[in-house]
Chains A and B, each alone.
Chain A
Amino acid sequence: MKDCENISESMGRWLDGELSPAESESIRAHVAQCADCGEAQRKLEKLQLALEGALMAESKSIEFEPFWRAVQLRIAEKRTWYEDALDWSRGLFTASRAAWAIPALIALLLAVASLESYFPGWRGGAGRNAFAAVDSIDAHGRNVALLREYDSKTTVIWLYEDQEGENETAEEPPPPGPAF
């Protein structure tokens, strides 16, 4: 029984001529005296014949001259840079390459994210201790300032009145009139 399982695994390679002479002989001897394996061989040969019939029946010989002319036309045709780039990228992003490229990209993103904890402020300090002011957030002439301290994770919200702004919006004093 174990033999039959092994033979079944190797049957295709045997019929394809991919086994050593010794292995082939051992399979041939087994198949000659095992009805089940003989039946499996017959089915596989019939499948192979059917495949040849189906795949070869579709074939039709193509004339060389028109084929060659079409290839020559393509060669002579000037392609745009984006067609070339598309061709190039098709070769670049094959499934096998994507298989390692995606984990590599994830690892790179994780590494960049983890740099933040090892080297605080590595991005040059931009955005740290940022002081942002929003003018006239409400209609009463008040301003809001936000002070963020990243190391202590503190945010201070500061409401204040902008004297300068108030002066700008305040009613202007009447121009000095002529002295009577």
Chain B
Amino acid sequence: MELSDRELVQKCQTGEMSAFEELVSRYHQKVYMVILGLLRNREDALEVAQETFFRAYRKINGFQGGSSFYTWIYRIAVNLAIDAQRRQKRNPLDFRESMDGLLESQDEVARDPFADVHDKELRQNLTNAINDLTPEHKAVIVLRTIEGLSYKDIGEILGCSEGTVMSRLHYARKKLQDKLSAFL
């Protein structure tokens, strides 16, 4: 029978490494995707995802179970990604290079929904528009779009109220719509 996250956390707290391994196997992909959505660089995202689980392991004894494990792990991940994103902003040249690399590799790999020129342009503009958002606005967009989380869960992860999540989402979408008005 599959153990719940809470049971696995309890086992981790008694020092069972295999329980932590199970938690990592359940969440590594989701955590990585959220971080990738924020950082838009695969190497950086992988690095931050590994650091997220390392931090979680070190703090697991302090986890009281007041929230679910996944909101807790996402909170660690998003905070680390926002820190990393602020560092990226300070080195825009490096970031630009990584973005270009990502887009090129997408062109190679993905025969994706963005097939024609119009969509390619839209994707490029959307990518730029997303990157112009503040880390906090980008975080709500990513958590809502990639994970489809509720406003309540997003608020728990970001440490803010549902009302704040709602207004950040509204503002971020408005900003994206304004920048992409020619494509929508």
Contact = CB atoms under 8 A, between A and B. Distances in A.
Interface of A: 9, 12-13, 16, 18, 43-44, 46-48, 50-62, 64, 67-68, 70-71, 74-75, 87, 90, 94, 96
Interface string B53-69: 11101000000000000
Nearest to B42: A60
Q: What is the interface residue range for chain B against chain A? A: 35 or more
Chain A contact residues, majority secondary structure: helix
B81 interface: no
| Of listed A44, A47, A55, A96, residue having the most chain B CB within 10 A | A55
A67 B50 contact: yes
Contacts of A46: 184
Interface of B: 21, 24-25, 28-29, 32-33, 36-37, 40, 42, 46, 49-51, 53-55, 57, 79, 83, 102, 106, 109-110, 112-114, 122-123, 126-127, 130, 141-142, 144-146, 150-151, 159, 166, 169-170, 173, 176-177, 180, 183-184
Contacts of A18: 150-151, 166
B8 to A, nearest CB: 15
| Of listed B57, B109, B142, B145, residue having the most chain A CB within 10 A | B145
